[in-house]
């Protein structure tokens, strides 16, 4: 297991589901809330699409010029380790960070520009794996990624 730079233990691994406000939840956990961490949390919450670390840094930097990339990366990694943020990795291998861990959902991605959005598909609850298809695994969930082309990309040539 990774050390997550030593700041967290795996005991802190269950997201509190009583409140939709990430910053509040972090405070309630007793997370040391520096200006940098608050800004990262705010940026994540303020978006309806899912951002890369670079995106988060860019937006955070506007609000707090002194923030560093390392801190953004470290903070995101810790939020994921705590279970307060979910990571989605598209085929390009660049991680996106999804702050919405309170409501079950899946994703829709533009295969052209990599835009990633939340969706709530129909029929999703009927998806199961037969025992013969489980190969002895303990299966605890699944993610669906819908693939398509977004409105702005439809017009473009490449």
Partner DNA sequence: TTATCTGCAAAGGCTTTGCAGGTCG
Partner DNA sequence: CGACCTGCAAAGCCTTTGCAGATAA
> Which residue among 62, 94, 113, 144 contacts DNA (CB under 7 A)?
94
Closest separation in Å from C-beta 91 to a second copy = 5
> Which residue among 43, 44, 71, 85 contacts DNA (CB under 7 A)?
71
Scanning 12-20, 30-38, 55-63, 143-151 for contacts with a second copy by CB under 8 A, the matching segment is 143-151
Does residue 139 touch a second copy according to CB under 8 A? yes
User: In the range 10-29, which residues lie near a second copy by CB under 8 A?
Assistant: none
Binding mask 62-91 for a second copy (x = CB under 8 A): -------------------------xxxxx
- C-alpha span between 13 and 141 (Å, rounded): 17
Burial 9-43 (b: 16+ CB within 10 A, else e): eeebeebeeeeeebbebbeeeebeeeebbbbbbbb
> Which residue among 17, 35, 139, 154 contacts DNA (CB under 7 A)?
35
Rg (CA), the chain: 17
Task: Choose the one of DNA, a second copy, none that binds residue 119, judging by a C-beta under 5 to 8 angstroms depending on kind.
Answer: a second copy
- C-alpha span between 115 and 149 (Å, rounded): 9
Burial 140-149 (b: 16+ CB within 10 A, else e): eeeeeeeeee
């Amino acid at each position: 297991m990774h050390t997550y730079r030593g700041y967290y233990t795996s005991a802190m691994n269950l997201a509190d589901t009583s409140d939709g406000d990430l910053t509040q939840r972090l405070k309630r956990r007793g997370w040391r809330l520096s200006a940098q961490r608050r800004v990262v949390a705010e940026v994540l919450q303020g978006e309806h699409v899912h951002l890369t670390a670079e995106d988060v840094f860019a937006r955070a930097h506007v609000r707090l010029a002194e923030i560093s990339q390392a801190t953004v990366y470290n903070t995101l990694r810790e939020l994921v380790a705590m279970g307060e943020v979910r990571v989605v990795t598209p085929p390009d291998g660049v991680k996106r960070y999804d702050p919405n861990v309170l409501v079950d959902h899946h994703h829709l991605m533009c295969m052209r520009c990599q835009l990633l959005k939340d969706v709530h598909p129909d029929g999703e609850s009927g998806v199961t794996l037969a025992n013969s298809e489980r190969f002895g695994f303990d299966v605890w969930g699944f993610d669906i990624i819908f693939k398509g082309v977004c409105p702005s990309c439809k017009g473009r040539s490449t």
